[in-house]
Amino acid sequence: MRTTLLIVFLSIVAPTIAIAQESDESAEQESTAEEEKKKDFEWAVAPIPSRSPNLGWGLGAIAMAIYPVDSASPPAVSSLAGFWFQKGYVVAAFQKLHLMNDSLRITGGGGYLSFDFEYEQVNATPLPVAYNQSSGFVFANVLFEVLPKLYIGPRYQLTTTTFDPEDIFSEVFIRALNNGSLNNLTSGIGLILQHDTRDSQFFARSGMNTQVKFTLNPEFLGSESAFSRLEAKNSGYKEVQPNVVLAYRASWRSVHGDVPLSGLIRYGQGNDLRGYESGRYVGTKAFVTQGEMRWRFWWRFGLVMFAGVGSIFEEFDEWSTDDLLPSIGGGLRFLLAEQNELNYRIDFSIGRYKGNSAVYFSVGEAF
C-alpha cells in the first residue's frame, strides 16, 4: 500500500471526536451488556419513504425480528427489506447470530437490485452517462472470539453485475472502466478482524467498535477481474449526559488490482457520508470522518446533528485539500423497539456542491 500507513492511521485512529474511555465505566458497561442479553423477542416493522438525487422518490418497508438464541449472548437479528424507487428497486434479507456466550458471530445475507443511473458528470469531469445496473449478491461472515472482545474469521461474497447503457457514449464509458465488458462476476474470500466493546449493537452509549476487512477476488474462484479490497473503520460512543450520546466514525477504503466498475469505491454509498449521490464520485481510495450528537429528548423521540468530511481519489500524489467533500445535517428519531433501543430515523444532509443533498429514512443508527 505504498506510503499509506500514516494516512490510514490518522483516518482510523484519530477520530473526529475524541472520546475518553474511563476505567471506572467498565463495570457499568458489562452490566448493560448483560441486560441486553436477557431481552425477549421483539418485532420492528416500518415503512420507509425515501428520496435521493439519483434514484428519485421511493417507498419501502423493513421487517426485523430481534430475539435471544441463548441466555448468555446478545440477541439475534433477522431482517427482510424491499425498496421501490422511481428509478429502480432492491430486495434483500439478512441474518445475524450471536452464539456460545457471544464467542461466535455469524452474519449472512443476499439480495437483488436494479437501478437506473444518470449523471451529468463523474468526479470533476463533465461526462453525461446513463445506464441500468442490475446486481445480485450473497455473503457470509463467521467470526470467532480469540481474546476478550477480539474476533477474527473468514468471509465470502459473490456478486454478479450487468450493465445496460442507454446510448453508445455510455457504453464506451462502461466498457472503458469494466475491462471491455458489460457484465461482471466477483467471487471473493477474505478475513475480518474486529474489536467490539460496545454496550449495545443497536444504540451504543459507550465503547468502541473497530473492524478491518480484507477481501481478495481471485480468478481461480471465478472472478472475471482479479482485485482486492481493504476496508477499515473505527467507531466510538460516549454518553456525556443522560440520553445524550456523542459518537464518531473514521473509515478508510481502498481497492487494488484489475478493478471493475462494480468494484470501484462510490462516495456516499452506505452511510459514509450522507448527502452525496452514490456513483457521482468514484475512485480507488476514500477516507471519511464524521461525528454525531444523539439526544433522546422526550418519550420515544430524539434528535441528531451530524457533520463530517472525507475524500475519494486515485493516487496520493494527485490528492489535495480541494478534493475534500464535507457534509452536514440533522435528523429525527423515533424508538421502534423499546427493549433493544432500535430507532426509526429520518435524516437530511447537505454536501459540498449544489444538488448534493438527500433525505434518508431507515431503521437503526447510521453507525
Cβ–Cβ contacts within 10 Å for residue 101, how many? 12
Residue 360: its pLDDT value, please?
83
* 79 — pLDDT class (breaks 50, 70, 90): very high
Max CA-CA distance within the chain? 64
- Angle among Cα 239, 351, 361 to the nearest 5 degrees reads 60
The secondary element (H helix, E strand) that includes residue 328 is strand 325-337
Beta carbons of 43 and 64 less than 8 angstroms apart: yes
List the single range of 37-41, 259-263, 308-312 with lowest mean pLDDT: 37-41
How distant is the alpha carbon of residue 62 from its chain centre?
Answer: 17
The three cell numbers locating residue 274: 450522507
Structural domains in the chain (count): 1
pTM here is: 0.83
CATH number at residue 46: 2.40.160.50
List Cα–Cα distances, 341 to 37, 43, 169, 271, in angstroms: 13, 12, 49, 20
Domain that holds residue 57: 5-363
Question: DSSP for 63-126?
Answer: EEEEE-SSTTSPPEEEEEEEEEETTEEEEEEEEEEEETTTTEEEEEEEEEEEEEEEEEEETTEE
CA dist., res. 127 & res. 174, Å (int)? 12
CA dist., res. 337 & res. 67, Å (int)? 12
Question: Which of 282 and 30 is assigned the larger pLDDT?
Answer: 282
Residue 26: its pLDDT value, please?
45
The three cell numbers locating residue 75: 440477541
Entry field: residues in the chain: 367
**pLDDT digits over 175-224, tens only?**
888 888 899 999 999 999 999 999 999 999 999 999 999 999 999 999 99
Phi, psi angle pair for 34, to nearest 5°? -65, -35
* 333 — pLDDT class (breaks 50, 70, 90): very high
Q: Is 37 exposed, middle or buried (0-12, 13-18, 19+ CB in 10 A)?
A: middle
Percent above pLDDT 90 for the chain: 54
pLDDT higher than threshold 90 for residue 97: yes
Residue 118: its pLDDT value, please?
78
Question: Which of 128 and 88 is assigned the larger pLDDT?
Answer: 88
**pLDDT digits over 144-169, tens only?**
999 999 999 999 999 999 999 988 98
Question: Which residue type, as a one-letter code, is found at position 325?
Answer: L
Residue 29: its pLDDT value, please?
46
pLDDT higher than threshold 80 for residue 138: yes
Q: How do 76-85 and 56-67 pair as beta strands?
A: antiparallel
Percent above pLDDT 70 for the chain: 84
* 28 — pLDDT class (breaks 50, 70, 90): very low
List the single range of 165-174, 181-190, 299-308, 347-356 with lowest mean pLDDT: 347-356
CA dist., res. 106 & res. 330, Å (int)? 33
Beta carbons of 191 and 265 less than 8 angstroms apart: no
pLDDT, the chain, mean: 85
Residue 271: its pLDDT value, please?
65
Q: What is the mean pLDDT of residues 90-99?
A: 96
The secondary element (H helix, E strand) that includes residue 137 is strand 125-147
The secondary element (H helix, E strand) that includes residue 151 is strand 150-165
CA dist., res. 35 & res. 23, Å (int)? 20
* 134 — pLDDT class (breaks 50, 70, 90): very high
Residue 21: its pLDDT value, please?
41
* 3 — pLDDT class (breaks 50, 70, 90): very low
